[in-house]
Amino acid sequence: MRNKFFLIICPMLLMAALHAAAQDNVIDEVVWVVGDEAILKSDVENTRRAMIESGQRIDGDPYAVIPEQIAVQKLFLHQAAIDSIDTQVTDAQVLGEVDKEINRRISSIGSQEKLEQYLGKTIKQQRDELREQIRDQIIVQLTQQSIVGDIKLTPSEVRRRYDKLSEDEIPYVPTEVEVQIITQEPEVPQEEIDYVKQKLRDITERIQSGETTFAIQALINSKDGSAMNGGELPFYGKAEMVPEFATVAFSLTDPNKISKIVETEFGYHIIQLIEKRGDRVKVRHILMKPTIPQENIDATLSRLDSIADDIRNGKFSFDEGATAISMDKDTRANFGIMSNPNTLGSRFEMSQLPQEVAKAIYPLNVGEISKPFTMVDQKTGKEICAIVKLKTKVNGHKATVQEDFQTLKDMMIAELSEEKLEKWIVEKQKTTYIRINDSWKKKDEFKYPGWIKD
């Protein structure tokens, strides 16, 4: 795992952001200082509480482990500022990841309303909290990649390293599966589309009359992650936008005018020009999505159930169905085979699959097709219906060079990367101002003893 440090640090901080409500009986104080960055007692407590609530194990004293992890992250962020790596992260990247995280949570808990109720925060509030956390995640990851560089191992080097492993050191390869998917979008009633369009027209009229502003209406009504920023997007080139949106955005010439309603795969938009710079444009937009009645979702599930039966009865193959019927354009051209964004290959560990897909796949034998189910599209945030087929399954086993060369190579590169990062952290500690409150100095509990300077 090339980004092991990143993966250790950031889930804790993300959940801390989710559960960062003030504690009535805790008086806040600065417990660590790393460079010119403070670590507060509340930072540690919020992270500890979030980890406990989510069932994460804390290996060691939480009042040593957690602040040390936060401190390590601050070292990477400080280096990013020195190397100007932080300037490479765009608002578009951050907002895209924020939307993915929100969609993942909605998918996990069942609905937007349930998520808001569970966390006691609106979606807008959650996006606002996540924004800086995710920006820091991306910056830390880029910094680590810069430190590690491009590590290469030849096949003979991989084999030599493998031959030196004891039986206990040989990694266990988890069960991996290949999955095919057919999706259908429930029909959106025309009256719902008309309602959304009319609301966007009303908003346009109110803005044009001076009664309100575009930014305020985006904050109130938009279903896009940019809502918290008044609907404002960063500068984009034409190729970075979906075509329908780009065509209208680049046709705008007057910042005082608002576009016609634009339909994209995400929903319905109105757009306002902010500025043009050469072949790039900055705009605001408001995104609204029609509500789909449950009966339409049920009808789509029923249709997919019939499609699955037709495939089982040999009327056509799953490959043919995925190519001709599926609405998932990312898999349609590849016979419905899902692609793992972590590896860019077609194999998934069960934990890497979208939760609904993993649940549907789990009881299947190779070649079997699931019952229809609903899921949230990770890209658009829309509720869609799907069936999946378990194409292949490789049961968990001890790795061998013959069968698992790439897995072993990745593991060895990860180990070398971790060694580089650990060496960098030790050196960085020597040149960084660090102060720890006496009661928080737990040298025997720290992974890196260099925090306490004699």
Tell me: do 281 and 306 sit in the same domain: no
CA 432 to chain centre: 32
Which stretch of 47-51, 136-140, 316-320, 397-401 has the lowest confidence by average pLDDT? 47-51
* Pair of tokens at residue 334: 């590849």
Work out the pLDDT band at 19, boundaries 50, 70, 90. very low
**Residue 124 maps to which CATH number?**
1.10.4030.10
Residue 397, pLDDT above cutoff 60: yes
Which stretch of 218-232, 296-310, 316-330 has the lowest confidence by average pLDDT? 218-232
Q: Which whole-number Å values give the CA distances from 217 to 207, 235, 256, 330, in the listed order? A: 8, 21, 15, 33
> What is residue 84's DSSP assignment?
T
Residue 248 CB-density burial (10 A; 0-12 exposed, 13-18 middle, 19+ buried): buried
Work out the pLDDT band at 32, boundaries 50, 70, 90. very high
CA 196 to chain centre: 28
Q: In terms of residue numbers, what domain contains 383?
A: 175-187+292-395
Which stretch of 77-86, 112-121, 369-378, 436-445 has the lowest confidence by average pLDDT? 112-121
Instruction: Assess if residue 311 is contained within a domain.
Output: yes
Tell me: do 127 and 54 sit in the same domain: yes
Nearest one of 282, 270, 266 to 224, comparing CA atoms: 266
> What is residue 290's DSSP assignment?
-
Nearest one of 322, 123, 300 to 228, comparing CA atoms: 123
Tell me: do 217 and 270 sit in the same domain: yes
Tell me: do 35 and 119 sit in the same domain: yes
DSSP string for residues in 300-353:
HHHHHHHHHHHHHTTSS-HHHHHHHT---HHHHTTTTB---TTTSSS-EEGGGS
The mean pLDDT value for 383-387 works out to 94
Residue 161, pLDDT above cutoff 80: yes
> What is residue 373's DSSP assignment?
E
The domain boundary residue, chosen from 268, 288, 308: 288
pLDDT at res. 388: 97
Instruction: Assess if residue 159 is contained within a domain.
Output: no
Tell me: do 11 and 122 sit in the same domain: yes
Residue 326, pLDDT above cutoff 50: yes
Residue where the block lists tokens 């699931």: 370
- CA quadruple 78, 84, 86, 90: dihedral, nearest 10: 180
Residue 226, pLDDT above cutoff 60: yes
Beta bridge partners of 435: 33
Can you tell me whether residue 442 is helix, strand or coil? coil
The domain boundary residue, chosen from 288, 314, 332: 288
Determine phi and psi for 52, rounding to 5 degrees: -65, -45
pLDDT at res. 9: 42
Number of structural domains the chain divides into: 3
Residue 53, pLDDT above cutoff 50: yes
Residues 307 and 182 sit within 8 Å (Cβ to Cβ): yes
The per-residue pLDDT of the chain, averaged, comes to 88
The domain boundary residue, chosen from 225, 254, 288: 288
Measured between alpha carbons, how far is 403 from 58 in angstroms, rounded to an integer?
A: 34
Tell me: do 410 and 353 sit in the same domain: no
Tell me: do 424 and 367 sit in the same domain: no
Quickly count: other Cβ atoms within 10 Å of residue 273's Cβ: 20
Instruction: Assess if residue 446 is contained within a domain.
Output: yes
Instruction: Assess if residue 25 is contained within a domain.
Output: yes
Beta bridge partners of 237: 280
Residue 282 CB-density burial (10 A; 0-12 exposed, 13-18 middle, 19+ buried): middle
Measured between alpha carbons, how far is 425 from 439 in angstroms, rounded to an integer?
A: 23
Kind plus residue range of the DSSP H or E element containing 246: helix 243-251
Nearest one of 168, 148, 195, 151 to 422, comparing CA atoms: 148
Measured between alpha carbons, how far is 348 from 358 in angstroms, rounded to an integer?
A: 10
pLDDT tens column, 281-304: 999 999 999 999 999 999 999 999
Work out the pLDDT band at 245, boundaries 50, 70, 90. very high
Tell me: do 147 and 223 sit in the same domain: no
Task: Give the percent of the chain with pLDDT over 70.
Answer: 93
Tell me: do 146 and 16 sit in the same domain: yes
The mean pLDDT value for 129-142 works out to 91
Tell me: do 91 and 200 sit in the same domain: no
pLDDT at res. 18: 44
* Pair of tokens at residue 129: 């909290």
Residue 121, pLDDT above cutoff 50: yes
Phi-psi label, residue 381: left if phi above 0, alpha if psi -120 to 50, beta otherwise: left
Instruction: Assess if residue 109 is contained within a domain.
Output: yes
Tell me: do 315 and 215 sit in the same domain: no
Measured between alpha carbons, how far is 148 from 139 in angstroms, rounded to an integer?
A: 14
Instruction: Assess if residue 77 is contained within a domain.
Output: yes
DSSP string for residues in 25-51:
T----EEEEETTEEEEHHHHHHHHHHH
pLDDT at res. 54: 67
> What is residue 3's DSSP assignment?
T
Can you tell me whether residue 239 is helix, strand or coil? helix
pLDDT at res. 208: 93
Measured between alpha carbons, how far is 394 from 176 in angstroms, rounded to an integer?
A: 5
Residue where the block lists tokens 């027209």: 201
Residue 191, pLDDT above cutoff 70: yes
* Pair of tokens at residue 453: 């300077």
Tell me: do 213 and 274 sit in the same domain: yes
Q: Strand pairing of 280-288 and 383-394?
A: unpaired
Residue 279, pLDDT above cutoff 90: no
**Residue 179 maps to which CATH number?**
3.10.50.40
Work out the pLDDT band at 56, boundaries 50, 70, 90. confident
